Amino acid sequence: MMILLIWIMLLGLVFFFSYVLISDYRKHSDKLEDVSTVKTVIIGFVVNFFDTLGIGSFAPQTALLKFTKQTNDRIIPGTLNVSNTIPVVIQALIFIKIIKVEALTLSLMLITATIGAILGAGIVSKLPVKKIQLTMGIALMITAFFMFLGQMEWIQGGGEAIGLRGWRLIIALIANFFLGALMTAGIGMYAPCMALIYALGMSPLVAFPIMMGSCAFLMPPASIKFIKKGAYNRKASVSMIIPGVIAVLLAAFFIKSMSLNILKWIVIGVIMYTSYIMLRASSVFDNTWFSNINSN
């Protein structure tokens, strides 16, 4: 019953978002941006395929849009959110359906992530982003290291649980609250959520409906704000949505048919990649940091 309710709520969100987007697009159809449809279609497909694998879409999509000069920097945040909202909701609907996860655990984690994004925005906005990125980067690298040791069977780690109870559930809810809040600071949720699921002894597969469901509840209202302010590239966003949905469907089938052992290696790679991105963004690898080390 809870899973059905989640489905209904997500479908309601995506239909309302689609109505707002189509209305705005039709209203401004006579003054659309000068954008290459071929380039944006390819970008939408590529980033959403890898997003479905858990790599995330915002960072590579930003790089590709800037490299191909498809939109100006000012409206990139809105363009990212609007173009990825429907693909992310589709991801959530698919993985909630095809991957077995305990309903209470899923529902509570989705709720806490949403509350975290709403209530935590004011708190997180006052924190130094670079320190958050440094902390998360180190934490993810440590998690990837222990996952690697577990895969090599040098230590026991991970698990096959599809739900949580007791203190593990409490830790999961608190952590997901903060992950939802950190999203408002631009810290992606996918890799940290994968690390959390692993640390609590759950199956890596369970991370997909939880992390994508959390984002699916957050993105439609955020994207609607960008649409109403006109702070997005209309033509680029719309042209990336359909290929993005197709990519999601292909990647979801790929993940569903994949062995758990291969999936664990992919998760390790995703977490290590995200760790490196966060450490680089925190300036831990820049010359100033090394200069400070040498001076001490």
Q: What is the pLDDT of residue 158?
A: 62
Give yes or no for residue 214 having a pLDDT over 90.
no
CB atoms within 10 A of CB 69: 10
Of 93, 209, 184, residue with least CA distance to 193: 209
pLDDT tens sequence across 103-156: 899 999 999 988 887 777 566 657 776 777 787 788 788 878 877 887 777 766
More confident residue, 80 or 259: 80
Residue whose token pair is 């990649």: 273
Q: What is the pLDDT of residue 169?
A: 93
278 touches 56 (CB < 8 A) = no
CA angle, 209 then 213 then 215, to 5°: 130
Q: What is the pLDDT of residue 89?
A: 94
Mean pLDDT score across all residues of the chain: 84
134 touches 72 (CB < 8 A) = no
Round to whole Å and give the CA distance between 286 and 266.
28
Q: What is the pLDDT of residue 156?
A: 63
Over residues 7-11, mean pLDDT:
92
Round to whole Å and give the CA distance between 212 and 204.
13
pLDDT tens sequence across 12-45: 999 999 999 999 999 998 888 888 999 999 999 9
Round to whole Å and give the CA distance between 34 and 36.
7
More confident residue, 229 or 182: 229
Phi, psi at 133, each rounded to 5°? -65, -40
Q: What is the pLDDT of residue 278?
A: 79
Mind spelling out the 3-state secondary structure of the chain? Answer: CHHHHHHHHHHHHHHHHHHHHHHHHHHCHHHCCCCCHHHHHHHHHHHHHHHHCCCCCHHHHHHHHHHCCCCCHHHHHHHHHHHHHHHHHHHHHHHHHHCCCCHHHHHHHHHHHHHHHHHHHHHHCCCCHHHHHHHHHHHHHHHHHHHHHHHCCCCCCCCCECCCCHHHHHHHHHHHHHHHHHHCCCCCCHHHHHHHHHHCCECHHHHHHHHHHHHHHHHHHHHHHHHHHCCCCHHHHHHHHHHHHHHHHHHHHHHHCCCHHHHHHHHHHHHHHHHHHHHHHCCCCCHHHHHHHHHC
Q: What is the pLDDT of residue 296?
A: 44
Give yes or no for residue 230 having a pLDDT over 70.
yes
Q: What percent of the chain has pLDDT over 90?
A: 30
pTM value is: 0.80
Over residues 94-106, mean pLDDT:
89
142 touches 192 (CB < 8 A) = no
Residue 186 pLDDT class (50, 70, 90 cuts):
low
pLDDT tens sequence across 237-293: 999 999 999 999 998 888 777 776 787 788 888 888 888 887 887 775 554 544 444
Q: What is the pLDDT of residue 279?
A: 84
Residue whose token pair is 């906005």: 125
Give yes or no for residue 184 having a pLDDT over 80.
no
Q: What is the pLDDT of residue 264?
A: 78
